[in-house]
Structure 1
Amino acid sequence: MKLNFDFNQLLTVTFTLFAVIDIIGSIPLLHALKKKLGGLHEGKATLISGALMVLFLFGGEQFLRILGVDQRSFAVGGSIVIFILGLEMVLGIELFKSEPDSKASVVVPIAFPLIAGSGTLTTIMSLKANYETTTVLLGIIVNLIFIFIVLKSMDFIERMLGPAGMIAIRKFFGVILLAIAVKIFSTNLRGLLK
């Protein structure tokens, strides 16, 4: 059996996922979560988010159908969590209370919705409709490697930016996160209300 592999398609899928995941833009939030939780559990967070992405690649639509949830409702729910995280970043307040066990917080909010959020999972299902499953899977793997490197390099990134730089980037990307949440919410809510 011959695999139809196109490097340009892999680049397109990889960069699409990179833009949606936006791990660089999440650095200020990850920094805040690291201080709040006492650590990010980088390997576990990467593996759990990767498992969610692969799960949705192979069975996302069926999984949501079993739960009786459509893609739009899933996206609206995820956008609300993203909006709350954005508010925390901009206002410097704590709305999302951390779990007493920091390992439990690896799943929510780090693996989901921060890394493998509703936008990422919906994008994966959309990419599967347009590209070979193998290409989408490789795109996911490339992004997971980059995510792990960023999570492992948080201390270095923090030193490079300094406290003032972290605050400035946190506020800026908080506004970006709010805008993304509003866009996801309004786009999908319109579809639900039709």
Structure 2
Amino acid sequence: MDFFISSVITLALVMDGFGNIPLFIAALKKVAPERRKIVLLRELGIALLIMVAFLFLGKWFLQAFGVRQFSLSIAGGIILFIISVRLVFGGEEEAKTDPKEDEPFVVPLAIPLVAGPAALSMVMILSAQSPNKLVTLGVVLAASLINSVILMLSFPISTLLGKRGLVAIERLTGMILVLMSVDMVMGGIAEFIKLGNV
């Protein structure tokens, strides 16, 4: 149960729903208001399918490329650290949407804003760490639900918190992710030493 709760919280933080609110608003700005929820649900569904695919193919990926679990943990921690530093110090990205296209499809909402490198790395790490795929599937579904609720309420939340409020939440999320990334790297190093590779 502790694994489930901690994994859901970690994955939800990595998916960075609050940090993605400004980007989602920018991407959906040209979409008709009555179509926004439909487009958003479609993109969130695509992102979920991608993460589930990574969950079930993660072990095969590791075996096919000869990647061991501690390597994935260290690499995932480094990616997560880079993402979290960007959040803390405010390296904002503009949503890459073509102004001629009213409705974004797959890019940039599903990929890379929801199912980005950090989220997919985390899913693969969870897949490697947990022997029970159903528990890990539950983690992905629960974290995706949390992220979806946040993003479905993106326009009201943005109005309520304002730009400064969203930035403050993004910075706090970044700080938490810094700690988690360091823990992932140290866990990978500890596993490396335990297996007698030094």
Common fold, TM-score beyond 0.5?
yes
Could you say if the C-alpha distance between residues 76 and 150 of structure 1 is closer, same or farther in structure 2, counting changes exceeding 3 Å? same
Per the TM alignment, residue 139 of structure 1 is displaced from its structure 2 partner at its CA by 4.8
What is the aligned counterpart of 1:108 among 109, 112, 128? 112
Find out whether 1:191 has 2:185 as its counterpart. no
1:56-92 CA-partner distances (Å, limit 9, x unpaired): 4434212211122222222332322322222222222
Q: 1:48 to 1:88 in 2, by over 3 A?
A: same
Report the CA distance shift for 1:81/1:100 in structure 2 as closer, same or farther (over 3 A): farther
**How does the TM-score come out when normalised to structure 2?**
0.68
Unaligned runs of 5+ in 2: 29-35, 99-103
Is 2:157 the counterpart of 1:157?
yes
Give the letter for the 2:80 counterpart. I
- Secondary structure in 2 matching 1:22: helix
- 8 Å Cα contact 1:87-1:178 kept in structure 2: yes
Q: Which of 27, 46, 50 is equivalent to 1:38?
A: 27
Task: Give the Cα–Cα distance (whole angstroms) in 2 for the partners of residues 15 and 191 of structure 1.
Answer: 23
3-state SS, counterpart of residue 114 of structure 2? helix
Counterpart among 78, 81, 91 of residue 79 in structure 2 = 81
Change (3 A) 1:16 1:158: same
Does the 8 A contact of 2:11 with 2:140 survive in 1?
Answer: no
Question: What fraction of aligned residue pairs are identical, expressed as a percent?
Answer: 21
For residue 21 of structure 2, what is the amino acid of its counterpart? H
1:113-135, Cα deviation, whole Å (9 max, x unpaired): 35x342333224433x2x4x445
CA RMSD of aligned residues (A): 3.4
Task: Rate the CA distance shift 1:25–1:48 in 2: closer, same or farther, 3 A.
Answer: closer
The offset of 1:109, in angstroms, is 4.6
> Can you give the 5+ residue segments of structure 1 that lack an aligned partner in the other structure?
1-8
Q: Structure 1 residues 82 and 32, CA, compared in 2 at 3 Å: closer, same or farther?
A: farther
Aligned to 1:3: none
- Once superposed, which parts of structure 1, at least 4 consecutive aligned residues long, lie more than 6 Å away? none
Taking structure 1 as the reference length, the TM-score comes to: 0.69
AA aligned to 2:87 is M
* Cα contact 1:75–1:188 (8 A) shared by 2: yes
Q: Give the equivalent residue in structure 2 for 1:20.
A: 10
**1:126-137 maps to which residues of 2 (within 5 A)?**
126-127=129-130, 129=131, 131=132, 133-134=133-134, 136-137=136-137
